[in-house]
Amino acid sequence: MIEIKDLAKAFALSKNNKLSDTEKQDVRYSKDAFHSVRNVSFHCGEGEVLGLLGPNGAGKTTTLRMLSTALKPDAGSVLLNGVDVLKQPVKARQQIGFLSADTGLYGKLSAFENIAYFGRLHGMSEKALKQRIDELFSLLNMHDFANRRADNMSTGMKQKTAIARAVVHSPKVVILDEPTTGLDIMTVQTVLDFIKGLKAAGTPVIFSTHHLDEVASLCDRVVVIDKGVSAFSGDITQFKTLSDNGDLREAFLSVLNGTQQLQQQGAA
């Protein structure tokens, strides 16, 4: 279970930084800070897949970084299966499987070595690690390039390796930041099947994406973040009702338009 409440994060701006006209009108900019996430709340239960949507620069990655303990929130709380990430970050990290937007592999290490390294950092024994890696190689069709160095892998191979690395320690919560971006159709299908497998195993999964067809086929819940706030948070059925014909694209755009109107009213 993932529970996020009133999450906020600002980044200090350089003293010499001059705001552009567009930035001056953006509610996220103050004189000395950029409020990347202002107020984000949502929850994701066991066996649920939550799709995190939002335009580029909306605050999705910052939100996911706070969830994963890479960044400390300025305000709000994040509970992962009852563990407060602010108070017990190390315990929270044991439960998280995180795939960042960058594939982020060590080029001189093979697929096996990349995954094993992170398994060891999670305190796995060599025997359990070998078994688990073998299992993941089968699930993600990775046996063919198990010993290939990351520098010599294709984008799809790298992404599969990165996903296997993120879940090698069998995390109780999985966070995936744009896991299918830039992949071919076959690899996308493998990744989506893998996420379905996690869901079937009762693991809550949060994944950010720009592909609404993936949201339609996978997600139980949807959160739309726009200008640092959770503009929509609810189940997929509620989300579909935001459009006349249940079209996700229209629903998404209606949420964004609603945020814009609110902002304009606020400015007026």
Partner 1 sequence: MWQVYFKELTELMRDKKTLIFVILLPIFIFPVIFGVMGLVLSSTTNKAMQEQHRYVIVNATQAPQFAEALFYHKNFKQLTTEKTSQADLIAAIRNDEFDVAIVIPADFNTKRANVEQAQWQIIYNQSSQFDFMYRYFSEIVADFNEQLQRETLTQLNVDPAKLTAIIKPVDVQKVDTAAKRENIGEKFGAIIAYILIPLCLLGASYPAIDMGAGEKERGTLETLLICPISRVSIVLGKFLTVLTTGLVGALITVGSFGIWGAIIGSFAGMAVVQEAMSAIAITELVLIFSLLLPISAVFAALLLAISIYARTFKEAQNYISPLSIMIFLPLVAAMMPGVELNTKTALVPIMNVALAIKELIKGTADYMMLALIFGSTLLLAAAAIGFCVHWFQQEKVLFR
Residues that bind partner 1 (CB under 8 A): 11-12, 65, 68-72, 90-91, 93-94, 96, 98, 100-109, 113, 117-118, 120-123, 149, 165-166
Distance in angstroms (rounded) separating the CA atoms of residues 242 and 250: 8
Sign of the dihedral defined by the CA atoms of residues 77, 172, 220, 133, in that order: positive
Smallest gap, in angstroms, from Cβ of residue 158 to partner 1?
Answer: 11
HSE-CB at 187 with a 13 A cutoff on CA atoms is 17
What Cα–Cα distance (Å) separates residue 6 from each residue in 30, 45, 87, 204?
Answer: 19, 18, 16, 20
Which one, 107 or 202, has the nearer CB to partner 1? 107
Which one, 104 or 261, has the nearer CB to partner 1? 104
Smallest gap, in angstroms, from Cβ of residue 238 to partner 1?
Answer: 31
Which one, 121 or 253, has the nearer CB to partner 1? 121
Smallest gap, in angstroms, from Cβ of residue 61 to partner 1?
Answer: 10
Measured in degrees and rounded to the nearest 5, phi and psi for residue 210 equal -110, 0
**3-state SS of 152-163?**
HCCHHHHHHHHH
Which one, 100 or 259, has the nearer CB to partner 1? 100
Smallest gap, in angstroms, from Cβ of residue 248 to partner 1?
Answer: 29
Which one, 33 or 201, has the nearer CB to partner 1? 33
Smallest gap, in angstroms, from Cβ of residue 31 to partner 1?
Answer: 18
Distance in angstroms (rounded) separating the CA atoms of residues 51 and 123: 30
Structure tokens at 178: 């744009």
